[in-house]
Structure 1
Amino acid sequence: MKKARAEDKQLVVAILTKSFNENQSVNYIVKQDNKRESRLKELMAYSFEICYRYGEVYLSDDNTGCALVLYPETKSVLKTIPLDLRLLIKCIGIENAGKAMKRESLIKSQYPKEPIYYLWFIGVLPDQQHKGVGTSLMLSILDDARRQSKPVYLETSTVRNIKWYQNFGFNIYHELDFGYKLFMLKGR
């Protein structure tokens, strides 16, 4: 695993766009119209920028997988306003703003007040999955979180991924229902 550089943004966006194309939670936020694919790319570009500034962006050594980590306590709400507005206009849509804000508020309300290691996205190109890339990324992420003495939190709406996360010591501690189940997990 290596830290992504600013010039790796398009690669990271491409990996995440392909990895999360069918994800229920992502598609709940992304406006569903004839621009859905470009809107999905906007979400991933936004996520890259936020994590690059207020966390870490990692690439697998072979550039087929990535992980975006956020340290929420470091994020500046005022400094992200331009990014947030772009996300609203180019991805979510103004008519979906209330739904998206309510969802984020409910998710954040389930996190502790102490600093956490938030694994926002971990993705591997679909044709490279089941080859150990995600496992290698996850092991490195867990080592990094241990070094920082922070608990790891994440969510998934993909039921088949729950067992994979549990293999790394994650447990479901809460579920939210948005018309799909969002499972909130915490690592040990």
Structure 2
Amino acid sequence: MIKAVKNDRQVVTEILAASFSNNRSVNYVIPQNEKKMERIRKLMAYSFDVCFAFGDVYLSDCRKACALVLYPDRKRVTWQSIWWDLKLAATVFGLSRTAKVLSREQLIKKHHPSDNMFYLWFIGVDTSHQRTGIGKQLLQELLQKSKGMQRPVYLETSTPENVPWYQRAGFEVYAEEELSYRLFFLRKLL
């Protein structure tokens, strides 16, 4: 696993956009129209920027998988972060959907601990390299990193088929919420 640099923004964005193009949670917040993929790319670029500033961005050694990790305790409101949020609302969700998105974010945050955590916001594998073990290897390396930092790992998934994959890595489902889809909250404690 390697730590991404700013020049990796495009490769990370492309891996995640393709990996999450049919994701229920992403599609819940993205308007479903001819600009869907463009909007998903912008969402992933935004997420890269936030994690690059307030967390970590990782690539697998082969650069075919990536993960965005956020440390919420390190996140700060800055002029840059305000600009990113405004741009996200205007160009990705649309102003009419912003209330829906904010409501969803509040729902998610109520299930997060108040202590420091290793928030695995996104993990994805290049679609032509899925089911080859790259994602599993990256997840194992992320778990080692979180253990070294003494931070439990938290994440959500809207893909029921992914729950057993996470459970095999030692995660437990600790909550579920119903939106227009089921959202599973998982954690791996220290």
- Structure 1 residue aligned with 2:9: 9
**CA–CA distance in 2 between the matches of 1:96 and 1:142?**
34
Alignment partners' CA distance in 1, 2:180 and 2:15: 26
Question: Residues of 2 paired with 1:33 and 1:127: CA distance?
Answer: 25
**Counterpart residue type for residue 39 of structure 2:** R
Q: CA deviation at 1:71?
A: 0.1
Give the corresponding residue for 1:55.
Answer: 55
Task: Tell me the TM-score normalised to structure 2 length.
Answer: 0.97
> Which range is displaced more, 146-155 or 74-83?
74-83
RMSD (Å), alpha carbons: 0.8
SS of the equivalent of 1:166 reads: helix
* Aligned mates of 1:90, 1:172 — CA distance in 2: 33
- What SS does the aligned partner of 1:154 have? strand
- Separation (CA, whole Å) in 1 of partners of 2:124 and 2:108: 20
The alpha carbon displacement at 1:31 in A equals 1.9
State the partner residue of 2:138: 137
**What is the 5 A alignment of 1:59-74?**
59-74=59-74
Provide the C-alpha distance between the structure 1 equivalents of 2:72 and 2:121, rounded to a whole number of angstroms. Answer: 10
Task: Provide the rounded CA distance (Å) in 1 between the counterparts of 2:86 and 2:33.
Answer: 19
Alignment of 1:7-156 (within 5 A): 7-79=7-79, 80-156=81-157
**TM-score of the pair, normalised by structure 1:** 0.98
How far does residue 126 in structure 1 lie from its aligned partner after superposition?
A: 1.3
Segments of 4+ moved more than 4 angstroms: none
The secondary structure found in structure 1 opposite 2:25 is helix
CA distance in 1, matches of 2:114, 2:147: 18
2:171 counterpart letter in structure 1: F
Q: CA deviation at 1:32?
A: 1.8
Q: Which amino acid aligns with 2:120?
A: L
**Deviations 1:51-105 (Å, cap 9, x if unpaired)?**
0000000001111100000001111134411000011011011000110000000
- Consecutive unaligned residues of structure 1, counting only runs of 5 or more, are none
What amino acid does structure 2 have at the position aligned with 1:51?
C
Name the CA distance, whole Å, in 2 between partners of 1:77 and 1:186: 26
Q: Give per-residue Cα distances to partners, 1:25-55, cap 9 Å, x unaligned.
A: 0111112222111100010000000000000
Aligned residues: 188
Inter-partner Cα distance in structure 2 for 1:158 and 1:48: 21
Secondary structure at the aligned position of 2:185 is classed as: strand
**In structure 2, distance between residues paired with 1:100 and 1:160:** 24
